[in-house]
Structure 1
Amino acid sequence: MAFASALLTFVQPFEANLFRVLAIAAIAGLVMVFMTREDAFPAGDRHPKMIWAAILGGSAFAMIFPLPILSWVGAVATGIYWFDVRPHLRSLINGEYNY
């Protein structure tokens, strides 16, 4: 029981800091969305610009405040933007049409 308690006291601050870092990434992604051309999203077969702005803004909000399940959903949505949507749109805008 003492081990579980010690482990929990170690994990809780780590988890809180992880979500803070991810919230900063969501806010940075939100800025990137607003700087991206509006027509790039439909051209890349992605959701419209304002949908991604709402997703990333809601994700940042959910990760800043301790909302249990929504924090994880926000982290996944932020990851999808940074590792799928943004690289694809950047390659379209730069003229690289590789898949």
Structure 2
Amino acid sequence: MRRALEIAAIAELLSLSILLLNLATAHFPAITSLGGPVHGFAYLMVVILTVSEKTASTRAKLLSLTPGIGGLLALRQIRHSSGSRRAGSPTTSL
């Protein structure tokens, strides 16, 4: 599920970047017509995948609501919290 979140976060950031670049330069209506729904879908997928992630903290869920970069921030928070959780777990040796 994290791989899907990774893909959605990258798609969200790239689609927003393309939309903003188009707005700042030529402003082609075709790019806006295609990029808007792609960005919206990627944004919704980031939020849904983050909320459904079992190891996602409340902070990660709130970060996912940030348009554009929120998916990458949430993914970083999930990786950080699961990594520190594993590091703090006791180990048993035989």
Query: Which has a greater percent of helix?
Result: 1
Give the TM-score taking structure 2 as reference length: 0.50
TM-score, length of structure 1 as denominator length: 0.48
